[in-house]
């Protein structure tokens, strides 16, 4: 595995020192992860659950705990590498924080990560679906999706240079989040390099209808959702007032990107790499 990792690292520039989350004026870092550790290692078991029993969205991959699919790089990043076996079976990686964080009344909370998406133009990425997102902790206590609330901070499908920010909420069909599609907005995204994706929940207004969830790329807001847009206080609370845990994964196939085709390659060039994840609060 160390030999494999050294090959992986050679395809990604700048794997030298860990880069920590930047300071933001008026906010403090309440939690962060900079993925320090030995090459080929697993993410910290005290912080992350490495998932291997997920079956959703008609995806074709099997999530594993193997460092073939999710591993510390040894250069201050974590790498997610979907792989296709000689027989055409796909495996990939998904991690979830053990802890969750709640936007406090009268405060602002932001969840951000610095992410590199595989940018090898030779690789066909049909069916690949990297994501950085948050789920309502109520999911872990029996509340069903989408009533528990979901905020997708960054999703990309099929390697196209479009990033999506989405919420899922309420009932499984229709409702204020237009399920099962959700309420989504898109932004053009750069073709290469690390970029910071984030979502910010602002509860500084006592009127919940005037509170906001904003999505931003490299500090530039590209989508805003208000309580008034949802127009349902309990449902807004599931998104903006309730504990959220953080997820990172690369799915393969599924209802949105569709099936990978015969040209979709697994492994090098088709991974997601993350330098840091942080939760900020005012």
**Mind listing the pLDDT tens digit for each residue in 38-78?**
999 999 999 999 999 899 999 999 999 999 999 999 999 99
Query: What distance in Å separates the CA atoms of residue 229 and residue 236, rounded to the nearest whole number?
Result: 9
Separation of alpha carbons 137 and 238, rounded Å? 10
Residue 15 pLDDT level (bands cut at 50, 70, 90): very low
Element (H, E) at 9: helix 2-10
pTM comes to: 0.93
Q: Give me the pLDDT at residue 18, please.
A: 64
Query: pLDDT band at 82, cuts 50/70/90?
Result: very high
| Tens-place pLDDT, residues 111-161 | 999 999 987 888 899 999 999 999 999 999 999 999 999 999 999 999 999
The answer to whether 167 and 150 have CB atoms below 8 angstroms apart is: yes
Q: What is the pLDDT of residues 230-264, one digit of tens each?
A: 999 999 999 999 999 999 999 999 999 999 999 99
β 195-202/183-188 pair status: unpaired
CATH class of the 18-35+95-281 domain in this structure = mainly beta
Coil, strand or helix at 89: coil
**Distances from the Cα of 89 to the Cα of 39, 79, 92, 264, 266, angstroms:** 26, 20, 10, 12, 10
Distances in whole angstroms, Cα of residue 117 to Cα of each of 104, 153, 265: 32, 14, 15
């Amino acid at each position: 595995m160390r030999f494999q990792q050294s090959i992986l690292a050679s395809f990604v520039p700048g794997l030298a020192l860990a880069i920590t989350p930047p300071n933001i004026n008026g906010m403090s870092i309440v939690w962060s992860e900079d993925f320090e550790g030995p090459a080929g290692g697993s993410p910290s078991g005290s912080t992350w659950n490495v998932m291997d029993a997920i079956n959703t969205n008609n995806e074709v991959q099997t999530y594993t705990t193997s460092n073939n699919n999710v591993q510390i790089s040894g250069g201050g990043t974590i790498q997610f590498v979907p792989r296709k076996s000689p027989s055409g079976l796909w495996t990939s990686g998904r991690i979830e924080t053990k802890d969750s964080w709640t936007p406090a009344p009268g405060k602002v909370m932001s969840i951000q990560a610095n992410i590199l998406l595989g940018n090898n133009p030779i690789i066909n990425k049909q069916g690949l679906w990297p994501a950085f997102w948050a789920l309502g902790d109520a999911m872990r206590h029996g509340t069903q999706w989408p009533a528990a609330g979901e905020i997708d901070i960054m999703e990309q499908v099929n390697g196209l240079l479009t990033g999506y920010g989405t919420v899922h909420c309420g009932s499984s069909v229709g409702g204020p989040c237009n399920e099962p599609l959700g309420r989504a907005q898109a932004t053009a995204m750069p073709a290469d390099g690390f970029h910071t994706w984030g979502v910010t929940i602002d509860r500084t207004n006592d009127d919940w209808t005037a509170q906001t969830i904003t999505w931003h790329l490299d500090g530039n807001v590209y989508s805003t959702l208000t309580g008034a847009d949802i127009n349902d206080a309990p449902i807004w609370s599931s998104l903006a007032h309730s504990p959220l845990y953080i997820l990172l994964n690369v799915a393969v196939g599924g209802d949105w990107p569709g099936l990978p085709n015969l040209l979709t390659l697994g492994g090098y060039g088709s991974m997601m790499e993350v330098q840091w994840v942080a939760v900020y609060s005012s």
